[in-house]
Chain A
Amino acid sequence: MYDVAIIGAGVIGSSIARELSRYQANICVIEREEDVCNGTSKANSAIIHAGFDAKPDSLKAKLNVRGNELMDGLSKELDIPFKRNGSLVVCTKDQDRAGLDELLEKAAVNGVPGCRIVEREELVKMEPNVADDVTCALYAPTGGIVCPFHMTMAFAENACVNGVSFFLNTEVKHIEKTENGYTIKTLHTDSNEEEIFEAKVVINAAGVYADELNNMVSENKLHITARKGEYCLLDKDAGTHVTHTIFQLPSKMGKGVLVTPTVHGNLLVGPTALDVEDKESLNTTGAGLGSLSMTSALSVKNVPMRQVITSFAGLRAHEDGNDFVIGEAADAKGFINVAGIESPGLSSAPAIGEMVAELVKDMLSLAEKDNFIATRKGILHPEELSLEERNELIKNQPAYGNIICRCEMISEGEILDAIHRPLGARSLDAVKRRTRAGMGRCQAGFCSPRTMEILERELKMSMFDITKNGAASNIAIGLNKEI
């Protein structure tokens, strides 16, 4: 029997797993996808919000501000790409600037440091491409951008190294209360075999499905709506179009979209917002993508939408109560919900990990480990090395001299690291999320056959079993003339 079973290996489940791995406990993480960071955590704005937006005293407000504070330390400890680029909420001449003052007040109540209103004259010096109709903005210097893949993987890898067991491709079908805990029935998504987990404490971090899991064991029903957001990602050539994260002051037209550089140097535009019935509907739409050029123009001019290299959709888990739902279900002892984690979920993830681990520690009277490994090294970035250092690296590990992804200049060495590290990559997208191979302007047209060869060789997989992103997303379906 496990002390703790965490359901969901997104950024929330992984953060909780990492914080709990400080303690002497038998912990597992159950994830239906073939990789960690494969749901909402992989498709969002990749923002560490400053924390001025959430309603004072809400969990969203407290955990956002605390999560933001924790990021400097975590990014060093766990080698997470993170940058405090500062954020701006812009107000146009057709809008009431009182809206900005309200945000400024909320920022003060929520404890967000350094916020102030900047007038157009100063603003255009900070952001020359701000739209002509913008009159002023709220500036929050603590806003930041992060790599959500590496943030999640850093938590998960570190948890794994500290003894947490991860069960991937494992979908929870049923949860039942037992005398001293819970029985979790799962199906393996490849083999279709049933596996049963027993745990004293269950942590429900199942994203858009957290309501279904809660409703299996509790009469206090949750209801989560999947709110779709569509995004366009632009070429690195467009990556300096803005340097801050530019939000729009909400208006009658809606909440608006953001325009932001990513921590890897691309430009990101989005999201749209549309409530959807199907919790799997990760499709983009012509209308959604088409709207982004118009809505983004309200805050930033001349966004070079011709330089879009890919588009994607993510689903936010919106709970009817409009706040995070974190804590033990009142009628289900030992069943801890971490539900409704929509924006600012990514920003709050470090603080949610801290909060839930504290809760579980007290519940199970857990003692700290004395051999906890607090640090994790990410995948090497050879481009940051000097010529001499790089040559030394290639001399010792020649794979670092072999470029596989020509757009992002990713070498075989980085791909090998991605495959062989804890919770290593087993699919093309898993390699992509870890190394950026295939994430550039040709979108894996060049490197995918090469990456497939490496996966085949290193994991001794059949070429026909290699997938884009797990499940039945196979790439080659047969030999020539044999299909």
Chain B
Amino acid sequence: MKQYDLVIVGGGPAGLAAAVAAKDNGIDSILIIERDKELGGILNQCIHNGFGLHTFKQELTGPEYASRFIDQVLERNIEYKLNTMVMDITADKVVTVMNREDGMVQIQAKAVILAMGCRERSRGALNIPGYRPAGVFSAGTAQRLVNMEGYMPGKKVVILGSGDIGLIMARRMTLEGAEVKVVAELMPYSGGLKRNIVQCLDDFGIPLKLSHTVVDIEGKNRVEAVTIAEVGPDRRPIPGTEIRYECDTLLLSCGLIPENELSKSAGVALNPITSGPIVGDNLETNIEGIFACGNVLHVHDLVDYVSQEAATAGKNATLYIQNGVAANVKTVEIVPEGGVRYTVPKFIRPTEMEDNLTVRFRVGDVYKNCAIATYFDEELISKRKRPVMAPGEMEQVILNKKKLAEYPDLTKITIRIEEV
């Protein structure tokens, strides 16, 4: 069986940054496995700008952002395999991969980093009634057709869901000559970044209808019309509010689901809120030596944070390969409350963690002029005012190791949204 110190599953932004960090921390035997024909992952089809403002202080396109990391991988001579699918991962870190040239090969890794990203929620999962004609696409599939292959999936478009890809595609389809009639969003707030609402909808006069959903799809061969209706607080359609749009295309941007089928095969425990692995401060899953980062761990809003998180995973996988597991280490759980939906990590090791650990999370509703409060047991440790918080954007809290050392008997950390 082939052996590598570190196998990284996925050559997108998370996998690339993790590989670079592992190499820079002293691991040489690294293999990145990528199923597509090039490195870079979904960034390759994100040809709009706005990437890298935090990391590079520049507005890059997706391919440009990816190429910065691809260059770093190439400069470091990190090994990678393209057009290769990971078929299975075991808890013993045997990774089975397959491609045309090598066939099916088993690799024994000392550590594995999961960096498979996420997939889009499909029409079926949304259970939208109506006919099943051609012309219903997930926004990402449409993005690939338009941006990678140059084919237009339709002329008159309705978009369900205001996730970022849907917003970006509203602008893209408009620029390519299509008419985007409306973006309907089930929730009373958008699932995307504020800047995308402004730049992709408002600037093009595309209406956003909050608290609306699709209740019917017409057309036996190709989409002919889509009917949307307003929903009540129970998110069920309100009879009499239907509006019918003649169109040939329905794009869906209704949420992303971390792609953890392989993680499950290895026995990795998942958090039902994020659909991603439950990890500690070092981003290790419940399976020793298997780490996770990027959108497979939890869906991020900005790729900069993916890169940061992946670098942490790369560094920690290296520490694990070099030193093994620290034994008998105390862990403290982070409890999300009062509007905080989840946290990544889910627990920390106060004696082992980094000096300043970033805990990321999302809120469950729109909050104006509220604060993020952090408690060590019952004691309020910090309260940071935020003018606006929304589910579409990630929030964070920094935990300081020195500060934690002052609380040797700490049993839990609570993060919650409070009035100012």
Contacts and interface: CB of A to CB of B under 8 A. Distances in A.
Interface of A: 232-233, 280, 282-286, 288-289, 308-312, 387, 390-391, 394-395, 398-399, 401-403, 406-407, 409, 441-443, 445-446, 448-449, 463, 467-469, 471-483
Contacts of A469: 134, 221
Contacts of A442: 119-120, 122
A469 B219 CA distance: 13
Contacts of B99: 401-402
Contact of B124 (A311, A399, A467): A311
A308 B130 CA distance: 16
Interface in B108-164: 119-120, 122-125, 127, 129-135, 137-138, 140-141, 144-146, 148-155
Nearest to A463: B151
A480 B237 contact: no
Nearest to B140: A445
A473 B104 contact: no
Contacts of B125: 308-309, 441, 443
Contact of A284 (B100, B102, B129, B148): B129
A449 B100 contact: no
A482 B152 CA distance: 9
A271 B146 CA distance: 38
A448 B248 CA distance: 18
B122 A402 contact: no
B131 A476 contact: no
B238 to A, nearest CB: 12
A401 B98 CA distance: 6
Contacts of B85: 403, 406, 409
Given A311-B127, A468-B134, A394 B153 contact: no
B410 to A, nearest CB: 36
Interface of B: 35, 83, 85, 87, 98-104, 106, 119-120, 122-125, 127, 129-135, 137-138, 140-141, 144-146, 148-155, 176-178, 215-218, 220-222, 237, 248, 261
B103 A394 contact: yes
Contacts of B154: 477
Given A286-B237, A403-B85, A445-B120, A391 B104 contact: yes
B274 to A, nearest CB: 15
Given A286-B129, A476-B153, A309 B98 contact: no
The 7 A-B residue pairs whose C-beta atoms are closest, nearest first, are: A310-B124, A468-B134, A476-B151, A443-B122, A391-B103, A398-B100, A473-B134
9 contacts: A308-B124, A391-B103, A402-B99, A409-B87, A474-B134, A476-B151, A480-B177, A482-B152, A483-B152
Contact of B127 (A289, A473, A481): A289
Given A394-B98, A394-B100, A483-B177, 12 more contacts: A283-B216, A286-B237, A309-B122, A311-B127, A391-B104, A401-B98, A401-B103, A403-B35, A409-B85, A469-B134, A475-B134, A477-B154
A467 B134 contact: yes
A9 to B, nearest CB: 19
- Looking at chain B's contact residues, the main secondary structure is mixed
Contacts of B218: 283
Given A395-B103, A472-B221, A479 B130 contact: no
A477 B176 CA distance: 13
Contacts of B83: 402
B152 A232 contact: no
Contact of A387 (B104, B131, B133): B104
Nearest to B154: A477
Nearest to A287: B129
A280 B103 contact: no
B132 A479 contact: no
Nearest to A311: B127
Nearest to B237: A286
A482 B177 CA distance: 7
Nearest to A389: B104
Given A406-B35, A471-B221, A473-B221, A283 B103 contact: no
Given A282-B131, A449-B144, A480-B152, A309 B124 contact: yes
Contacts of A478: 151-152, 155
B139 to A, nearest CB: 10
Contacts of B148: 449
A407 to B, nearest CB: 8
Contacts of B100: 394, 398-399, 401-402
Contact of B220 (A282, A309, A446): A282
A479 B141 contact: no
Nearest to A306: B125
A310 B122 contact: yes
B409 to A, nearest CB: 40
A285 B222 contact: no
B255 to A, nearest CB: 13
A10 B309 CA distance: 53
Contacts of A483: 152, 155, 176-178
Nearest to B102: A401
Nearest to A401: B100
Interface centre among A442, A446, A481 (most CB of B within 10 A): A442
A390 B104 contact: yes
Contacts of B132: 282, 312
Nearest to A475: B134
Contacts of A311: 124, 127, 129
A282 B130 CA distance: 8
Contacts of A480: 146, 150-152, 176-177
B229 to A, nearest CB: 10
B150 to A, nearest CB: 5
Contacts of A482: 152, 177
A481 to B, nearest CB: 5
Nearest to A230: B129
A472 B99 CA distance: 35
Contacts of A473: 133-134, 221-222
Nearest to A428: B134
A224 B56 CA distance: 68
Given A232-B127, A474-B134, A445 B122 contact: yes
Contact of A401 (B104, B130, B150, B248): B104
Nearest to B131: A283
A119 B216 CA distance: 44
Contacts of A463: 149, 151
B180 to A, nearest CB: 13
B341 to A, nearest CB: 17
Contact of B141 (A288, A391, A407, A448): A448
A479 B151 contact: yes
